[in-house]
Amino acid sequence: MAFLFIATSLLYLCHGQDTEPNESYTHKKGDPNGIGKWYMGREIAHVMGFQGMRWLDRTVREDEENTSKLLENMDIQAGDTIADIGAGSGYHVFRMAAMAKKGLIYAVDIQDEMLAEMRRKKEKGKVQNVRLIKGSEKSVNLPKNSVDKALLVDVYHEFNYPVEMIASLKRALRPNGKVFLIEYRGEDDRVPIKRLHKMTQAQAVKEMQAAGLKLERNIANLPWQHCMVFSKE
């Protein structure tokens, strides 16, 4: 299947190891698909580069991932403020923008090429309720208490600084805000994704709990992915 070949052959961008001491992280040799940096027993995966943009926008993505069902799971309201963290080329961004017509979608990414593609789509579609944000490896760069819902699709496992990133996201969440953490199921060997680009529920819960987020539920209606919903403890 073409998807499997592309998914396992994409070029990745590595942002390097941190030079600042942090007791949360350790460094050792690991999987070729990892950066040699570990957090809570998990090796962090290489970041998928903008070279994979066409794969993100592939026409079969709806069939493979049931992305419409994912957005249904989010129960998006017209006035919601939603942050798509690691928004890539904007696959989910513009679908959510059409649903939150009176709200705002923050499209956060660290790669200029991804932001440029979303800017092109925004201008072409004359979309008014999408705001592009350049994040960093340590921050989502969003205002405090500004977000009702945050969506992270297959990106958290690539955060070079997960402790700092989730702390910044937690600050951006409103008191009743929700984090929708979408990750390929690490418990299922049938999911055709490299091991480091999948996560188990147990590992995700352990890391989110360390950040002060609790699992409300895992909506098990996606073909290959967990749909874990977290809130502030």
In a domain, 18, yes or no: no
pLDDT digits (tens, 9 = 90+) for 147-193: 999 999 999 999 999 999 999 999 999 999 999 999 999 999 999 99
In a domain, 205, yes or no: yes
In a domain, 44, yes or no: no
Helix (H), strand (E), coil (C) string for 161-208: CHHHHHHHHHHHEEEEEEEEEEEEECCCCCCCCCHHHCECHHHHHHHH
CA dist., res. 108 & res. 87, Å (int): 6
Coil, strand, or helix at residue 162?
A: helix
Beta bridge partners of 147: 173
Range of the domain at 69: 60-232
pLDDT top residue among 59 and 31 = 31
Q: In this structure, what CATH number is given to the domain that contains residue 221?
A: 3.40.50.150
In a domain, 67, yes or no: yes
In a domain, 223, yes or no: yes
CA dist., res. 199 & res. 228, Å (int): 11
For 152, the enclosing helix (H) or strand (E) is strand 147-153
pLDDT digits (tens, 9 = 90+) for 49-95: 787 778 787 889 999 999 999 999 999 999 999 999 999 999 999 99
Q: What is the pTM of this model?
A: 0.89
pLDDT digits (tens, 9 = 90+) for 104-120: 999 999 999 999 999 99
CA atoms within 13 A on the CB side of 179: 28
A 10 A CB-CB count for 3 gives 14
In a domain, 41, yes or no: no
Place of tokens 């059409």: 98
Please state the domain count of the chain. 1
In a domain, 191, yes or no: yes
Categorize the per-residue pLDDT at 23 as very low, low, confident or very high, splitting at 50, 70 and 90: confident
In a domain, 167, yes or no: yes
Tell me the one-letter amino acid at 208: M
